[in-house]
Chains A and B, each alone.
Chain A
Amino acid sequence: MVGGSGGEILVVAEHHAGQVKPVSLELAAFGRALAQATGKTATGVILAYPARPLAESFAQASGLPVLALENENLSCYNAEAHLQALAGLARERKPALILIAHTATGWDFAPRLAAALGASCCTGITGFKIGDPIRFLRGICGGKIMTEVAPIADTVAVVTMMPGAAKPKAPAGAGSVEIIHAEVNTAGTRTLGYQEAPPRSLDLAKAEVIVAAGRGIGGPEHLGLIRELAACFDRGAVGASRPVCDAGWLPLEHQVGMTGQTVAPRLYLACGISGAIQHCMGMSRAELIVAINTDPGAAIFNVAHLGIVQDLHRFLPALIAKLRERKQKKL
């Protein structure tokens, strides 16, 4: 077990295709706020090869002093190489906390790192509350319940932060960079490469209004209503939640959320969408969010500006009729 009594917070950055990911700057801001509130220091960590350009870029954009772990096996993400390098660093520096972004990458290695270190593990948190012990906030049950969780006393805490939980802040100046050679070998898992998402014929980012369908529409036979509503707008498009695309009701290019497209239209009409955090991450920046759902407890109402607790099969025809009426009056 690694004692977590130290005063350091390690902020683990991610990179892809030679760039530090934007979420890492959110994480740095979160780490800095946490350090300030708890009287600790925040240190950036990046694992890369070659490490210097990425480390300097992270140190400059975050303002954190950055430790760069360098090894040929760290040129792209490999779970085992990451684990070995980070576990080695944690055993040496005995940080109080290791902060990781709750991305497909961070989520992949964070629980294993915690198990390897005998550490506490709090994943997918959206905020913190100062106190003894410190509490992290996490939504459960599709966002219907909020919880406060705390790391186990006297252990290092591995914590993953939901993207969007903090806003990146411009630093006063660039942090220092220290390059450390990391000992890693990757006997097991081999990274073979990346496959870009197929080119999209639909760019939801250009839509002014998105009418998004969730599982609550009931089946692909009800998509006509969604399309009809979207067609009421000059620049309207049809979006979807993950379950709708998984079920094959709509092609993947319609998917909004963490693993789909991130959108910020003027108007987002969420129809039968429960409001899983992964979906909300992709649309919470819309100017006006309207949610239509039969379940008044659905988490979508926590992010919506206007809520309608109705069966969309009955409500949408009424809305479409109203919109057409207006249009005709205008003509």
Chain B
Amino acid sequence: MKILVCVKSVPDPTTTFLINAAGAGYEESGVVFGVNEYDWYAMEEAVRIKERVKETEITALIVGPLRAEAALRKAMTLGADRGLRIDDTDQPASDALAVASLIAAWAGDRNFDLILAGVMSQDLQRGQTGPMLAQLLGLPCATMVVAVKWAEDRRSLICERELEGGLRERIALPLPALLTVQSGLNTPRYASLTNVLRVKQLSIPSIPASSLGPVKKCEDLLRAFLPEQSAACEFLEGDLDRIAEKLVAKVRQRVPVW
């Protein structure tokens, strides 16, 4: 079985963001990047399949500049066999269709049985790349997957998607297929030392985005700005005791629950 896991390198969510010089995104210098949280669940699920299905090979892929390789390697330490980076330095794949079309161009004739991706990226939170990739490759797709098991015929997957209010939808997808996975699908393992050392020694090939055809676009990011601290939010300051006192008084005034 051939599995492709799509990974994204994202800023640490606790970053204090600054707007970049172009005014159309966040300033990347000084920001610590890591693996998109949802991609850990995708990688873990791939490794679990590999443990059950003989001759499974896991390829991990990332689209991004050289700095993205670190996140790819980190994700691979769960147990991916090989990695690949599509280098978009020369023509940045700024939106989801750009990324999806690059991956589709590369993966098109490589016959993956299963493609796994996180439900969305923690930074841009669009949730578009996975489903768009499925559409471009003509694959069935399930998003927001919180449970996966094999159907009896072993040629399709039974997935549970999480809907609003905890309702779950059960669907069967024939392979090949693409799943985007939600947190809670599994508990990602800690990487074994063997895998950490193995991945460290692997070379990660990169191929230029320009070799995969023109980069497409599906939206223009015109402006980014820091939201004004909600005028409604009043910050309470002072020492702990003083803040607690202020808080109790203010709450009593507005909603007398104590």
Contact = CB atoms under 8 A, between A and B. Distances in A.
Interface of A: 16, 77, 79-80, 83, 103-105, 107-112, 114-116, 119-124, 133, 135, 139-152, 188-198, 208-209, 232-233, 242-243, 245-246, 248, 252, 255, 258-262, 266-267, 274, 277, 287-288, 290-291, 295, 297, 301-310, 314-315, 318-319, 321-323, 326
Contacts of A108: 131, 142-144, 161
A307 B233 contact: yes
Most chain B CB atoms below 10 A, which of A233, A242, A315: A315
A246 to B, nearest CB: 4
Interface in B237-253: 240-241, 243-245, 247-248, 250-251
B221 interface: yes
B226 A208 contact: no
A150 B222 contact: yes
B153 interface: no
Contacts, number: 263
Contacts of B222: 135, 147-150
By secondary structure, the B interface counts as mixed
A139 B167 CA distance: 26
A233 B222 CA distance: 47
B193 interface: no
A156 B145 CA distance: 29
Classify the secondary structure of A's interface with B.
mixed
B166 A142 contact: no
A195 B160 contact: yes
Contacts of B134: 112
B248 A323 contact: yes
A248 B187 CA distance: 10
Contact of A115 (B14, B135, B221): B135
Interface in B84-117: 96-97, 100
Given A111-B126, A152-B217, 13 more contacts: A77-B169, A105-B163, A111-B130, A111-B132, A119-B218, A121-B218, A151-B220, A194-B170, A197-B165, A245-B184, A267-B251, A304-B230, A307-B234
Contacts of A261: 165
Interface stretch (B74-82, B171-179, B195-203): B171-179
Nearest to B119: A107
A208 B162 contact: no
A149 B220 contact: yes
A322 B226 contact: no
B230 to A, nearest CB: 5
